[in-house]
């Protein structure tokens, strides 16, 4: 479904991402982890079409992504969330979600019913008429996910959806994400909350200094000495033994 | 040859005047990230105040500066407290529209109080230009230019050396970080707005001998000030000086070689070209063009 | 929610109705206000009063046109006088030089203004906030200076005069009533267009682009196209208002028609009435235009300009203390008396605020 082929991106003289290749099959939940500054965000923006790669190619549904035109990428069925939520501030929660559904469902009324269903699924149905300004961080993150899902994507890119959430909210969110493949949504997920991503993702890609240093099942990756050394730290190294 | 030299030198001097007029605007924009749409009316007020002082006491406009500058400082303080502060945390449109309302009110208050008559002061030395080699200058233009250089240099020193100056530079770069570093940002806003207004007071005193004042005098000059400020990069004082000189030269040359009427057209076109190709201005901070994107 | 649903003429879309003015619905208050405007227009027969009425409705229509860019798409333009002037001059030049009736000439003006608006938005594509505003101001001035100096086409500072010979084909009438009809029709069309925009996907695309461009991009909206389309539509409808202005006053000159003051007036009417709603510009015009005309009438003997001082002060007070404008204030007041009526959204928001 998604294929990165030797993708690289240079900022000035610095390679934020260098020679990254991996593929994502339909129905997978792929986690991308790496220490701060590893290049996760750049990788994320590359896949979302917001950043143009210096080298290599990204293919989505067997077509090269239209770099630099995120709206075009979105129309092909690839949705993303933002690490810092980017809601439409003057609109209600319902309108925010409805807007995402408008591209496929041409009238606000049809889009509304899609939006309501998705808000129920994410469990923010009762917030429908609230203004965005009144939401908590956790609710904003859920709204961000709802907005991405309302575009009815085949591939969903999640950018640190757990950051700032309370433990019960994290649990909720994990259930939601785990159920996405059953709804026909493939997930690529960048995350810092290890507990969440290690439990939900089926495959983990580890990025370090702009390069892939390991990939595989969460259990295997967390035992990989390169990963432990680069990133996971003593606690997980101990747990892995 | 001496014509073009004369035009260039007059243009540069005119540019100095434009720089003084714009420097307060750029300072306020850099720190508060707002455009004062009543800036032209502040200038109008300063020119009227200078005229009033000159006609009441018979002193020159340059000595009147000692009265007009503090007056404009206080006026800026008042406007900040009454109009800018209540709107500054709201979307940037609030301050835009509020200062625009202020501009309309001030313009027409001047019309009511002073009528539409032109007010001016007698030229220094009976208006005889001074001769410098092959070049002639109006004394007022030369004085204005010298004062503008002095002010720009003084401000640059102030911003580099003093605590408030450093706080200003920090706030221009990143307001939130400056606040975290313990800078009293609200007070800095107040001082900057009042200080920027005081600079308009100086500009008014320099400009009164060169142009007469009338209620809508501000509109003509504020458009130039916007061009100057954007050209130099909003928030940059060196930029404002450079931008002023550019516009002065353009006006001087196009006024002679094309037609005075098209002079304005030229600098608005330059403005639009700068906006297309260098939206941050010649010396502006990066990202200035995007200010207000998510407000 | 009382909000009823009527099937619209198009059959594609349903119109939402509410009692209090709010975005996304045509409210009973608005209908009442518009209806009383029309009734007032039909009843009043004092020439001065009808003149004020015509100006008010014309400004309401023009402010609605400005609001498409400024309110819905967040493209605050202080250069709209240029589009206004393009509309006025195009139809007048076509009429005077080629005998083209303004009925057609206004669409030529609208087309040129739409292209100019689209071009301006493309040119200023990277600018936001104050720089965008200042650029539109500069663009407006370029058009004004061009009109002032291109004497062969525009008559320069002396302006153009349409011969006051009544003729339906030339849209020149002796009586005021045909003007009332045309200008009310213009205002109602602009209101209907705005109400339609608020309830369709295109309108929501504008809101999304205004509120968060990256967020809009991420859900498949092309922000640049959306902005360009909004500005072009706004410019075209402003130009049509310009033609009507020319036909009513029968005289045009660059200093009065393309002046920045005209642009400021568009923006301030919307700001006072309430940005980004269909009712805002109408309420704004209904308050500001008659008020400044009446104040001018009352105060002109004593001192000229005093009415504008009061006008400026009103603007400041409304902007600072009623940020959602008169329309928002009316909406809040009416929904206090009819809590179930269409303002459910706001009431519920407060409930959540209280919980948090």
Under the banding of pLDDT at 50, 70 and 90, the label for residue A40 is confident
The answer to whether position B183 is within a domain reads yes
Residues B8-28: what's their mean pLDDT? 91
Distance CA B88, CA B286 (A): 22
Q: Is the pLDDT of residue C38 over 50?
A: yes
Interface touch C201/A102, C-beta < 8 Å: yes
Under the banding of pLDDT at 50, 70 and 90, the label for residue C4 is very low
Q: Which residues of B touch C135 (CB under 8 A)?
A: 271-272, 275
With contact defined as beta carbons under 8 Å apart, do B100 and C264 qualify? yes
The predicted structure's pLDDT at residue A234: 52
Tokens read off for C340: 């179930």
Q: How many CB atoms lie within 10 A of CB A188?
A: 26
Alpha carbon C189 to chain centroid, angstroms: 11
Task: Name residues 218-237 of chain C within 8 A of A (Cβ).
Answer: 218-223
For B102, which of C131, C267, C312 is closest by C-beta distance? C312
Q: Which residues of C touch B285 (CB under 8 A)?
A: none
Under the banding of pLDDT at 50, 70 and 90, the label for residue A32 is very high
Under the banding of pLDDT at 50, 70 and 90, the label for residue B48 is very high
Q: In degrees rounded to 5, what are phi and psi of residue A212? A: -80, 120
DSSP code string of B154-174: HHHHHHHHSHHHHHHHHHHH-
Contacts of A13 (CB under 8 A, 6+ apart): none
Q: Which helix (H) or strand (E) holds A16?
A: strand A14-24
Distance CA C36, CA C42 (A): 10
> Using N-to-C axis directions, what is the helix angle for C325-337 and C344-355, rounded to 10°?
80
Whether B221 has its CB under 8 Å from any CB of chain C: the answer is no
* Domains in chain A, CATH or no CATH each: 2-240 (3.40.50.300)
Distance CA C65, CA B279 (A): 28
DSSP alpha helix (H) spans, chain C: 28-43, 47-67, 80-98, 102-123, 129-149, 151-154, 177-198, 201-211, 213-218, 223-249, 254-257, 260-273, 279-299, 306-321, 325-337, 344-355
Under the banding of pLDDT at 50, 70 and 90, the label for residue C300 is low
Interface touch A106/C201, C-beta < 8 Å: yes
Instruction: Classify burial at C155, counting beta carbons within 10 Å of its beta carbon; exposed 0-12, middle 13-18, buried 19 or more.
Output: buried
Q: How many CB atoms lie within 10 A of CB B180?
A: 10
Interface touch C345/A129, C-beta < 8 Å: yes
The nearest CA of chain B is from the CA of C61 a distance in Å of 20
The predicted structure's pLDDT at residue C269: 93
The predicted structure's pLDDT at residue C13: 47
Distance CA A130, CA A136 (A): 11
Give residue C128's region: left, alpha or beta (phi > 0; psi -120 to 50): beta
The predicted structure's pLDDT at residue C104: 95
* pLDDT tens readout for residues A164-187: 889 998 998 999 999 999 999 999
The nearest CA of chain C is from the CA of A207 a distance in Å of 24
Give the closest residue to A113 by CA, choosing from A102, A123, A122, A124: A102
Q: Give the mean pLDDT of chain C.
A: 85
Task: Name residues 81-100 of chain B within 8 A of C (Cβ).
Answer: 83, 86-87, 90, 92-94, 96-98, 100
With contact defined as beta carbons under 8 Å apart, do C112 and C239 qualify? yes
Three-state SS for B144?
Answer: helix
* pLDDT tens readout for residues B235-259: 788 888 888 998 999 888 888 887 7
From residue C96, how far is each of A80, A206, C92, C170 by CA, in Å? 57, 74, 6, 10
Distance CA C179, CA C173 (A): 8
Q: Is the dihedral of CA A163, A167, A172, A176 positive or negative?
A: positive
Three-state SS for A98?
Answer: helix
Distance CA C291, CA C286 (A): 8
Tokens read off for C28: 């009973």
The predicted structure's pLDDT at residue C339: 60
The answer to whether position B295 is within a domain reads no
Between A211-215, A229-233, B283-287, the lowest mean confidence (pLDDT) is in B283-287
Q: Give the mean pLDDT of chain B.
A: 85
Distance CA C252, CA C96 (A): 12
With contact defined as beta carbons under 8 Å apart, do A5 and A169 qualify? no
Three-state SS for C162?
Answer: coil
**Which chains would you list as touching B if contact means 3+ CB atom pairs under 8 Å?**
C
The answer to whether position B229 is within a domain reads yes
Residues C113-124: what's their mean pLDDT? 93
* pLDDT tens readout for residues B51-68: 999 999 888 888 889 999
Distance CA A131, CA A143 (A): 12
Under the banding of pLDDT at 50, 70 and 90, the label for residue C354 is very low
User: pTM of the entire structure?
Assistant: 0.88
Under the banding of pLDDT at 50, 70 and 90, the label for residue C310 is confident
The answer to whether position B8 is within a domain reads yes
Residues B273-280: what's their mean pLDDT? 78
Q: How many CB atoms lie within 10 A of CB B277?
A: 8
The answer to whether position B91 is within a domain reads yes
For C308, which of B33, B104, B226 is closest by C-beta distance? B104
Segments making up each domain of chain C, as ranges? 5-355
**Which chains would you list as touching A if contact means 3+ CB atom pairs under 8 Å?**
C
Distance CA B88, CA B232 (A): 24
User: What is the count of structural domains for chain B?
Assistant: 1
Whether A79 has its CB under 8 Å from any CB of chain C: the answer is yes
Between A114-118, C102-106, C294-298, the lowest mean confidence (pLDDT) is in C294-298
End-to-end alpha-carbon separation of chain A, Å? 34
Residues C258-265: what's their mean pLDDT? 91
* pLDDT tens readout for residues B127-179: 677 777 777 888 888 888 999 999 999 998 898 888 888 888 888 888 888 88
* pLDDT tens readout for residues C138-177: 899 999 989 988 888 888 888 899 999 898 888 999 888 8
Give percent above pLDDT 90 in chain C: 48
Tokens read off for C51: 């003149």
From residue A201, how far is each of A80, A188, A205 by CA, in Å? 17, 9, 10
Q: Is the pLDDT of residue A94 over 90?
A: yes
Between A194-208, B52-66, C336-350, the lowest mean confidence (pLDDT) is in C336-350
End-to-end alpha-carbon separation of chain B, Å? 52
Under the banding of pLDDT at 50, 70 and 90, the label for residue C186 is very high
- The residue count of chain C comes to 356
CATH number of the domain where residue B157 is located: 1.10.3470
The predicted structure's pLDDT at residue A241: 46
Q: In degrees rounded to 5, what are phi and psi of residue C15? A: -95, 130
Q: Which residues of A touch C13 (CB under 8 A)?
A: 107
Interface touch C352/A127, C-beta < 8 Å: yes
For B94, which of C260, C305, C323 is closest by C-beta distance? C323
For C130, which of B94, B268, B291 is closest by C-beta distance? B291
Q: How many CB atoms lie within 10 A of CB B1?
A: 6
Q: Which CATH class is domain C5-355?
A: mainly alpha
With contact defined as beta carbons under 8 Å apart, do C276 and A90 qualify? yes
Q: Is the pLDDT of residue B295 over 60?
A: no
């Amino acid at each position: 479904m998604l294929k990165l082929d030797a993708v690289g991106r240079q900022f000035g003289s610095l390679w934020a991402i260098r020679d990254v290749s991996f593929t994502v099959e339909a129905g997978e939940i792929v986690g991308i982890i790496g220490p701060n500054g590893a290049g996760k965000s750049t990788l994320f923006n590359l896949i979302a079409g917001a950043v143009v790669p210096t080298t290599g190619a990204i293919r989505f549904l067997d077509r090269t992504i239209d770099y630099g035109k995120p709206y075009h990428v979105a129309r092909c069925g690839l949705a993303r969330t933002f690490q810092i939520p980017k809601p439409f501030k003057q609109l209600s929660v319902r309108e925010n979600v409805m807007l995402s559904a408008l591209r496929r469902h041409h009238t606000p009324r049809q889009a509304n019913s899609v939006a309501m269903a998705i808000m129920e699924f994410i469990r923010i149905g009762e917030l429908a008429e609230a203004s965005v300004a009144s939401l908590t961080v956790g609710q904003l993150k859920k709204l961000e996910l709802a907005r991405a899902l309302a575009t009815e994507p085949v591939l969903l890119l999640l950018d640190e959806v757990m950051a700032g959430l309370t433990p019960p909210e994290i649990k909720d969110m994990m259930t939601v994400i785990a159920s996405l493949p059953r709804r026909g949504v493939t997930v690529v997920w960048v995350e810092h909350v290890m507990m969440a991503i290690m439990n939900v993702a089926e495959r983990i890609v580890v990025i370090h200094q702009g390069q892939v240093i390991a990939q595989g099942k969460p259990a295997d990756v967390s035992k990989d000495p390169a990963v432990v050394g680069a990133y996971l730290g003593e606690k997980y190294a101990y747990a892995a033994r | 040859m001496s014509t073009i030299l004369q035009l260039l030198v007059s243009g540069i001097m005119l540019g100095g005047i434009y720089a003084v007029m714009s420097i307060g605007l750029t300072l306020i924009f850099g720190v508060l990230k707002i455009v004062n749409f009543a800036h032209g009316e502040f200038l109008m007020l300063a020119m009227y105040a200078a005229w009033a002082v000159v006609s009441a006491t018979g002193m020159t406009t340059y000595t009147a500066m000692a009265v007009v500058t503090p007056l404009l400082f206080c006026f800026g303080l008042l406007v900040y407290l009454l109009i800018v502060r209540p709107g500054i945390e709201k979307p940037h449109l609030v301050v835009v529209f509020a200062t625009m309302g202020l501009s309309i009110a001030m313009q027409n208050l001047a019309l009511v109080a002073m009528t539409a008559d032109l007010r001016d002061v007698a030229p220094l030395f009976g208006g005889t230009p001074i001769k410098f080699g092959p070049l002639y200058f109006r004394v007022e233009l030369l004085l204005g230019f010298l004062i503008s250089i002095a002010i720009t240099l003084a401000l640059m020193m102030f911003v580099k050396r003093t605590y408030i100056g450093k706080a200003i530079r920090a706030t221009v770069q990143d307001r939130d970080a400056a606040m975290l570093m313990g800078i009293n940002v609200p007070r800095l806003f107040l001082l900057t707005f009042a200080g920027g207004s005081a600079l308009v007071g100086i500009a008014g005193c320099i400009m009164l001998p060169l142009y007469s004042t009338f209620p809508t005098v501000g509109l003509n000059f504020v458009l130039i000030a916007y061009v100057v400020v954007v050209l130099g990069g909003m928030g940059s004082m060196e930029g404002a000086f450079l931008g002023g000189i550019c516009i002065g030269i353009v006006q001087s040359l196009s006024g002679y070689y094309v037609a005075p009427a098209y002079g304005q057209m030229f600098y608005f076109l330059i403005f639009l070209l700068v906006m297309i190709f260098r939206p941050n201005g010649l010396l502006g901070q990066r990202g200035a063009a995007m200010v207000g994107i998510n407000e | 929610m009382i909000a009823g649903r009527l099937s619209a003429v198009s059959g594609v879309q349903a119109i939402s109705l509410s009692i209090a003015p709010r975005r996304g619905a045509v409210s009973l208050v608005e209908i009442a206000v518009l209806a009383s405007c029309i009734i007032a227009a039909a009843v009043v027969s004092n020439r001065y009063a009808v003149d004020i009425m015509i100006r008010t409705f014309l400004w309401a229509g023009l402010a609605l046109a400005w609001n498409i860019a400024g309110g819905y798409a967040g493209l605050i333009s202080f250069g709209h006088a240029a589009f206004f002037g393009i509309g006025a001059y195009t139809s007048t030049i076509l009429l005077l030089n080629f005998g083209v009736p303004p009925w057609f000439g206004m669409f030529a003006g609208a087309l040129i203004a739409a292209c100019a608006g689209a071009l301006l938005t493309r040119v200023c594509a990277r600018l936001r906030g104050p720089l965008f505003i200042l650029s539109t101001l500069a663009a407006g001035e370029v058009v004004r200076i061009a009109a002032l100096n291109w004497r062969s086409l525009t008559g320069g500072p002396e302006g153009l005069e349409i011969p006051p010979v009544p003729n339906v084909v030339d849209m020149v009438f002796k009586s005021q009533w045909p003007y009332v009809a045309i200008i009310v029709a213009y205002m109602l069309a602009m209101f209907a267009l705005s109400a339609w925009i608020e309830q369709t996907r295109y309108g929501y695309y504008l809101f999304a682009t205004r509120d968060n461009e990256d967020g809009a991009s991420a859900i498949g909206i092309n922000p640049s196209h959306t902005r360009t389309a909004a500005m072009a539509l706004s410019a075209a409808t402003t130009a049509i208002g310009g033609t009507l202005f020319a036909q009513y006053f029968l005289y045009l000159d660059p200093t009065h028609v393309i002046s920045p003051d005209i642009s400021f007036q568009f923006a301030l009417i919307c700001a006072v009435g309430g940005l980004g709603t269909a009712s805002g510009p109408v309420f704004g015009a209904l308050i500001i235009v008659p008020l400044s005309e009446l104040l001018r009438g009352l105060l002109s003997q004593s001192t000229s300009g005093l009415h504008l001082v009061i006008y400026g002060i009103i603007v400041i007070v409304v902007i600072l203390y009623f940020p959602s404008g008169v329309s928002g204030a009316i909406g809040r007041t009416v929904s206090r008396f009819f809590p179930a009526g269409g303002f459910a959204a706001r009431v519920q928001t407060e409930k959540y605020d209280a919980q948090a």
